[in-house]
């Protein structure tokens, strides 16, 4: 998984476990793509303070993910649902019309699970 995407997902899953300052600095750096100087100016702290907050946040998020594995499992589930949906789409093209409605219902249910 792309590093920025993983960082953003870690923040989405576990961000509430960080301090407010860590969460804010990390969010601005990862999701808003602001530089350390821009974040420092916005936050009223030094560039070193911003860097320390981002580094601590990253470390905490990775440790939490190592222990819980929620992002890994979520990603695997999404990939599995996507693969099942693609297989059903291919199957739908090869079966008689009267059976297609059942396959369409299953595909709809899978899409709802992905949301």
pLDDT of residue 107: 86
Contact yes or no for 77/65 (Cβ under 8 A): no
Contact yes or no for 13/62 (Cβ under 8 A): no
Contact yes or no for 14/64 (Cβ under 8 A): yes
Per the confidence metrics, is the pTM higher than 0.85?
Answer: no
Please count the structural domains in the chain. 2
pLDDT of residue 15: 97
Considering the domain architecture, whether residues 15 and 59 belong to the same structural domain is answered as yes
Considering the domain architecture, whether residues 64 and 79 belong to the same structural domain is answered as no
Considering the domain architecture, whether residues 42 and 64 belong to the same structural domain is answered as yes
List the domain range (segments joined by +) for residue 13: 3-68
Considering the domain architecture, whether residues 50 and 35 belong to the same structural domain is answered as yes
Contact yes or no for 50/22 (Cβ under 8 A): no
What is the CATH number for 39? 1.10.10.10
Low-confidence ranges of the chain (pLDDT < 50): 1
Considering the domain architecture, whether residues 49 and 91 belong to the same structural domain is answered as no
Considering the domain architecture, whether residues 103 and 85 belong to the same structural domain is answered as yes
The chain-wide mean pLDDT, for the chain, equals 92
- 59: CB partners within 8 A, 6+ apart: none
pLDDT of residue 46: 97
SS3 letters across 18-37:
CCHHHHHHHHHHHCCCCCHH
């Amino acid at each position: 998984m792309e590093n920025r995407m993983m960082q953003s997902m870690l923040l989405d899953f576990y961000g509430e476990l960080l301090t407010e300052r860590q969460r804010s600095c990390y969010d601005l750096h990862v999701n808003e793509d602001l530089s350390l100087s821009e974040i420092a100016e916005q936050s009223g702290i030094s560039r070193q303070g911003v860097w320390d907050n981002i580094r601590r946040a990253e470390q905490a998020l990775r440790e939490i993910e190592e222990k819980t594995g929620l992002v890994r499992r979520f990603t695997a589930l999404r990939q599995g649902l996507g693969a099942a949906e693609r297989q059903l789409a291919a199957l739908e093209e090869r079966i008689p019309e009267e059976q297609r409605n059942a396959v369409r219902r299953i595909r709809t249910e899978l899409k709802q699970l992905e949301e």
